[in-house]
Structure 1
Amino acid sequence: MPSPTGRAVIALGNAAWVGAAYTQIVELRLIAIMCALTVLLAIPWLLIPMRVRAALMLRPLRAVAGERVEISLTATNKGRLSLWQPLVRMPVGDRDTWLRMPTLPPGEQGSHELAVDDLERGVLDVGPATAVRSDPLGLLRRTVRWCEPAELYVRPKMAMLSTLGSGQVQDLEGVPSDRMSMSDLAFHALREYVPGDDLRHVHWRSSARAGELLVRQYHDTRRNHATVVLDPRPTSYRTDDEYELAVSIAASLILCAAREEYDVSLVSGTEAVVGLPGGAALDGTCRVQRQPGADPLAPAINRAVTLVPETSLLFVVTGAGAEDLEDVPAGLVAVPAETRCIVLRAALREASSMVRQRGHDLGTVGSLPELSGLLVASS
C-alpha cells in the first residue's frame, strides 16, 4: 500500500510521463523512469516475511475511569531474518498509539511497555497490534497483524458505601418468608401425605406413630437480592456528565450489594444482567448507554420485577430531567410489599436530599461522594 510519500512519487512519475509524451522533453521522461524504478525497488522490502508471535497483557484487566492502565506487548521473532526496530500500531479504544519495538534477532523475544490514562467508561478494544513494514524511503508499506485485540473494561467512578440503607438481614442461607415449600432449608411442620408428594420428604418415624404417612413441610427461603434499574432515556439527563453520574451511582450500589453478599441484577433498557455476581454486574455498567425510545419509568420497573421477581431491594436511578417521577408508584404495583424501593435522581450541583413518598424513598444526589450519607439517612 503506498504511503503519502509513495502516492506523491507515483503521481509525479505519471505527470512526468504524460508531459514527456506531449512535449518530447527528455528530462521529463527521465524523471518518470526514475520514479518508476524507485517504486519498483521498494517492492522487495515488502516481500520479506515477518513471522512474529506476540501477546498482549493488560494490568489491570478491569480499571476505573481515569485510572492508569499498563499495556505490555511481548513479541518473539520466528523468522530467519532480524527485525530492525519494527514500528507497531496499538489502538486503545478510539485512540491510536505507536510503539517502536527493540530490534528482534531470529528467535529472540522483546517487549514494550505502554501506560495510558484518562480513559473513559466503556469496553475498549486494545489492539490488534499491527506492525508496519516499509522500505527505507517510506514509499510503500504493509501491515502485519501480530496478535488479536484484548478487551479492557473501564468501569465508572464509584463511591465506597457503608450500607445500602435497606435494613435487610444478611443471611447466606436465606431469610425465611411466609410462603410454604416442599424443599428448602427452614423446617416448618408435618402434614398428611398427598398423592404426588415426594417420598423422600416422608417422616417415617412420625408416620409409624400416627398410623398414616406424614411429610415434612418447609418455609420458603430466599437470599437478599438487590436490583438496580438505570433509566437509559436521553431526555432524563440534562448533560453527559449527569448521565455518567447516574451510571456511577448504579455502579456504587452494585459494588456495595456485592460486598454485602447480595445477589445483584442490573436492568437498563435492553441491557440486563440478572442474578450474576457483583463483578459481572459491574461489567454491565461498562456497556450501558443511553437509548432513545426506551420505556418510561413505570414500565421499566415492571419489566425489572418480571425479570427478577425475587428482588428484596429495588433501586431506580434516573436524572434530573425525568418528568415521570410521579408515575413510579404505578410501576411498584407489581412489586412485593416486603420489597423496599429507593429512587435516586442524579442532579449535578443540586442540594442532596432524601424524602419519603408514596411507597418509596426519593433521593436527590448532587455529587457522588454525597451518596453514602443519603443511604445512611434512609436506613
Structure 2
Amino acid sequence: MSAPGSPRSTGSPRGATQRTGTRSLDPHTRTDTLSNTRTRIVGARTGVLADGVVGVVRIGRRVGDAVGDVARRVSSVVTTLGWVVLALLIAAGLVGYVLLGWVEAVVLFWIAIVLVLVAVVSLIGRNAFAVTLELERHKVVVGEPATAAISVRSTGAHRSLGATAEIPVGDGLAEAAIPSLRRDGVHRQEFAVPTGRRGVVPIGPVRTVRADPVGLVRRELIWTGREELVVHPRTIAIPSTSTGLIRDLEGAATTDLTPSDVSFHALREYQAGDDRRYIHWKSTAKTGTYMVRQFEQTRRSHLVVGLSTAEADYLDAEEFELAVSVAGSLGVRAIRDGRTVSVVVGEKTPEFAKRRVYAVRPLSTVRPGRLLDDLAVVASDENALPVRDVARVIADTVTGVSIAFLVTGSRTALADLRAASAAFPADVEVVAVVCDPDARPGLRRVPGLNVLRVGLLDDLRQSLARAAAVS
C-alpha cells in the first residue's frame, strides 16, 4: 500500500490531478491532526521520555483495572449495609473495649457480631437446580420481537426452596421468580429481549441470589453460560436491474481492446509477437498482408462498498445507522447476485499510536448472513478514517474494481467526495451515497462521480433505479 501522501501512478488524468502538491495540506492525512489518548498526554512528541510517560500511564491504568476488579468481586458479596455494619462493629469494639469502656458500645459490638454470623450462615449451601437458558432465535433484524426463556428443574432429593433468578440482558436486568419445586419439578418462564438497537445483545448468565434477612450480604450463584443475540441492521431488497450503473456485468464487453478474448472487435495488420492462431486467412488472402483478429476485453464485475466509520462524516447516530443499512443492502444484493463483491470499513487509529493508521477492514462476504453479522458490530469512532482516505486505501489495495459505492454522512463535503472519486482510475464508476435524513432523495452528477442522497432506507431503491435509467 502506498503512503497516503505520495502520488500513485494509475495512468489516469483524473487521479493525477488530485495528487500533486496538495496532499500534504490535507487535514485528514496530516499526522499532527491525530487525536487519541497518546496525543492528549504527550502531544506529537516521540522521544524516550514521551514513551516513558505513556508507559507509566498504561501501567497505572492496568493496576487500577486490577484493583477495581478485586473491589467489584468483594462488593458483589457485601452490600452497602454490610459495610456499614462492619465499620460499626470495629468502631464499637474499639470504643467499648479499648478506648472508653462504654457498656453501650460493647452491646452494640455483640449485636453486630450476631448479625455478621447470621449473614455468613445464610450463605452456606445452595439449591439443587438444573437451569437452562433458551433463545427462540439467535439472529433477528433490528426492531423485530425476540424472546428468551429459562427452564428450571429441581434435582435435589427434597423439595427445593423458592429463589429469585436474575438474567442480565444487554445493559438491563430481567428477573424471574422461581417457586418452590418438588423433586424433578420444572418451571419455565419467558422474557422479552430488546432489539431496538443494532448490535450483539449478551443474555445471561442466569444467576440466583441468596441474601441474609437483614441484607448485609448477597451471594450470586451462576447456573448457565452466556448466550448472544445478534441484531442485524435493517436492509431492503434492491432489484438487480437497479445496479445498471455497472457497465461490465457478468462478463459483458468493455471498451478495452485485447489480442485474445471472445468478443470480436475488428481486424488489424499482424505485428511481431501476435498469436498466429488469430490470423484471419480470408482477409490475409484478399489484402496480401497478414491480418489478425482484435477483441474487446470482457471481465467479471467487481463491486466494492466502502463504509466510512469516522464520526466527523456524520451528524448524529441516526445518520450512521442509515449508512450501515445502506451498505448492508448493497452488499447483500451483490452477494445474492453471485457477483465479486468486497465490503470494507475504515480502520481506527489505536489510542497510543504515534501515527494515523491508513487501512480498511474487509467484512465477510461469503454469505449475506455473515456480512450482516459483521455489520451488526460496526461502530463509528472519532479516530477512524474519513471517506476520502477510505477511497484512497481501496484504490491502492483492491484490484479489478469496476464500481465503487462510498457510503458516508451529510457532513462530508462535496470536495471530499470528488477527492475520493479521484483516487480511482478513470474507468471505475464511483457512486457516493450520502445518508441525510433531512435531505430530499435525489441524484446529482458531477464530473467523474454520481452522488445519491437518501433520507430513508427505502429511498435507496428509487435513487438507484433513477441513476440506472439515466446512465
Shorter chain as denominator, the TM-score bin is: 0.7 to 0.9
Q: Does 1:365 align with 2:454?
A: yes
Within 2, Cα distance between the matches of 1:56 and 1:221? 54
1:235 Cα deviation from its structure 2 partner: 0.8
Q: Does 1:4 align with 2:76?
A: no
User: Match of 1:276, SS?
Assistant: coil
Higher relative helix content: 2
Distance change (3 Å), C-alpha of 1:187 and 1:377: closer
Distance change (3 Å), C-alpha of 1:225 and 1:56: farther
Q: What letter is aligned with 2:198? A: R
Distance change (3 Å), C-alpha of 1:306 and 1:57: farther
Distance change (3 Å), C-alpha of 1:274 and 1:49: closer
**Relative to structure 2, which stretch is displaced further, 63-72 or 226-235?**
63-72
Q: Does 1:246 align with 2:323?
A: yes
* Structure 1 equivalent of residue 226 of structure 2: 149
Q: What letter is aligned with 1:45? A: S
Q: What letter is aligned with 1:314? A: A
Distance change (3 Å), C-alpha of 1:89 and 1:262: farther
C-alpha contact 2:364 2:370 (8 A) present in aligned 1: no
Percent identical among aligned pairs is 26
Q: Does 1:326 align with 2:418?
A: yes
Q: Does 1:291 align with 2:381?
A: yes
Distance change (3 Å), C-alpha of 1:282 and 1:249: same
C-alpha contact 1:102 1:111 (8 A) present in aligned 2: no
C-alpha contact 2:346 2:386 (8 A) present in aligned 1: no
Q: What letter is aligned with 1:370? A: D
1:269 Cα deviation from its structure 2 partner: 1.4
1:281 Cα deviation from its structure 2 partner: 0.8
Within 1, Cα distance between the matches of 2:382 and 2:392? 19
1:362 Cα deviation from its structure 2 partner: 1.0
Q: What are structure 2's unaligned runs of at least 5 residues?
A: 1-76, 265-295, 348-360
- Structure with more relative contact order (C-alpha pairs < 8 Å, separation 6 or more): 2
C-alpha contact 2:155 2:184 (8 A) present in aligned 1: yes
User: How many positions carry a matched residue from both structures?
Assistant: 342
Within 1, Cα distance between the matches of 2:110 and 2:93? 8
Q: Does 1:345 align with 2:438?
A: no
Q: What letter is aligned with 2:113? A: A
Higher relative strand content: 1
* Structure 2 equivalent of residue 309 of structure 1: 399
Query: TM-score, normalization: structure 1?
Result: 0.77
Within 2, Cα distance between the matches of 1:101 and 1:175? 63
Q: What letter is aligned with 1:372? A: R
**Relative to structure 2, which stretch is displaced further, 364-373 or 130-139?**
130-139
Within 2, Cα distance between the matches of 1:228 and 1:81? 62
**Relative to structure 2, which stretch is displaced further, 54-63 or 298-307?**
298-307
RMSD between aligned alpha carbons?
3.4
Q: Does 1:355 align with 2:444?
A: yes
Distance change (3 Å), C-alpha of 1:224 and 1:279: farther
Within 2, Cα distance between the matches of 1:329 and 1:317? 12
Distance change (3 Å), C-alpha of 1:20 and 1:165: same
**TM alignment of 1:134-145, pairs within 5 A:** 134-145=211-222
Q: Does 1:236 align with 2:313?
A: yes
Query: TM-score, normalization: structure 2?
Result: 0.63
1:277 Cα deviation from its structure 2 partner: 1.0
